[in-house]
Amino acid sequence: MGVVLALVLLLAVTLSANPRFLSGQSLRDLLLGASILVVLAAGQAMVVITRNVDLSVGSVLGLSAYATGTLLVAAPGTPLPLVVLFGMLFGAACGLVNGAVVAVAGVPSLVVTLGTLYVFRGLDSIWASASGRLQINAADLPGGFTALGTQALLGVPLLAVGALIVVLAVGDHLRSYRSGRELYAIGSDGTAAGLSGIPVGRRVLTAFVVNGMLAGLAGVMYAARFGTLDATAGTGMELQVVAAVVIGGIAITGGSGTVWGAAVGAVLLTVIGAALPQLGVSAFWQQASIGVLILLAIGLDRALALRTARRLRRWDTRAT
């Protein structure tokens, strides 16, 4: 609820300074800007709920986007559904590497994904250099594919519609399916979850694979929207994604939060990026504002956890 209020307050202040901030074209740009980050945040939410983190999503996005562009340059007649599936499977393969090392070898996810962040980025650079095509431009891609980044359905950009479908699907899985609810149990207490019969390793591996798959989908969306692809695509997005998840109310210690909160956190970060320049705030203070939001979110999360713990202790005392 706090992040929603912060978003409403930011919009109100910005609209008072610039009433055209939410005009048709501006709103469309905001939706397009938030779509890719929302998809990444939905996948990251599943990983963070299990008390892990994936810092490699920006590199997976860049590698998947370049792979998608390379496929379309080599075979421009490839049907769009196959192109999307190719990008998602490419990202899922990267997620499988992360998940296997974390779930099977037991290496902390922070260490694993920090390493694969650079590995995937390096592979992207090597691939671009070896192919002799350091950059793929919009002119190299089929018009039908790049149109995905501009077309709309009932006035809503297709990329935003796709992001909404992803959030609905992930949210329904976490809420309605046993395998989704078990992710919360793993994040709350992995040892207890294992003793109660939950396949902890398999669930964590699946969360990383799905997260990689959604990062691959985000790579396809990135390619369709921007058209220009090189080894720097997606650089730095991993920190935005983690920030969106934390600001959206998902505890970095796992076990709580919703994908809807992560999506709103992603939208809030996008609005901040667009609104602060309208308010005359410098680029430095934009970054500082995001940092303050993260600290406030973590502080609020800790305060709520302590309050809940005190309440449970009082109930235990009365019961005895």
The full DSSP string for 231-268 is TTTTTTHHHHHHHHHHHTT--TTSS---HHHHHHHHHH
Per-residue pLDDT, 53: 94
Q: How far apart are CA 131 and CA 67, in angstroms?
A: 12
Per-residue pLDDT, 83: 94
- Alpha carbon distances (Å) from 131 to 120, 126, 235: 16, 8, 21
Residues counted in the chain = 320
To the nearest 10°, report the CA torsion of 38, 39, 41, 45: 130
Q: How far apart are CA 63 and CA 123, in angstroms?
A: 8
Per-residue pLDDT, 319: 61
Per-residue pLDDT, 316: 64
Positions of the chain with pLDDT lower than 50, given as ranges: none
Rg, the chain, Cα only: 20
Per-residue pLDDT, 88: 96
Per-residue pLDDT, 149: 82
